[in-house]
Structure 1
Amino acid sequence: MIYHLAKQQAWQAAQQTGRYTGSEADRADGFLHFSTAEQIAESARKHRAGEADLVLLGVEEASLGQTLVWEKSRGGALFPHVYGDVPLDAIRLAAPLPLGADGAHVFPELPGDHEPS
Structure 2
Amino acid sequence: MIYHLATQSDWDEAQRTGAYTTSTRGVSLEQEGFLHASRADQWEFVRERYYADVEEPLLLLEIDTDLLDVPWREDPVGDDTFPHVYGPLHPSAVTHARLLSGS
What TM-score, normalized to structure 1? 0.76
Cα distance in 1, alignment partners of residues 15 and 55 from structure 2: 20
Counterparts of residues 1-117 of structure 1 (less than 5 Å): 1-23=1-23, 24-27=26-29, 28-53=31-56, 54-64=58-68, 67-73=71-77, 75-98=78-101
Structure-1 separation of matches of 2:92 and 2:61:
12
- RMSD over aligned CA atoms reads 1.6
Unaligned runs of at least 5 residues, structure 2: none
Q: Which stretches of structure 1, 4 residues or longer, exceed 4 Å deviation after superposition? A: none
Structure 1 spans left out of the alignment, 5+ residues = 100-117
TM-score (norm 2): 0.85
Greater strand proportion? 2
State whether residues 70 and 88 of structure 2, in contact with CA within 8 Å, keep that contact through their aligned partners in structure 1. Answer: no
Question: Over residues 18-67 of structure 1, what are the superposed CA-to-partner deviations in whole Å (9 max), with x where a residue is unaligned?
Answer: 22112541422211000011000001111111213211100001122551
Quote the Cα distance in structure 1 between the aligned partners of 2:83 and 2:53.
Answer: 24
Identity between Structure 1 and Structure 2 (%) = 38
- Equivalent pairs counted in the alignment come to 98
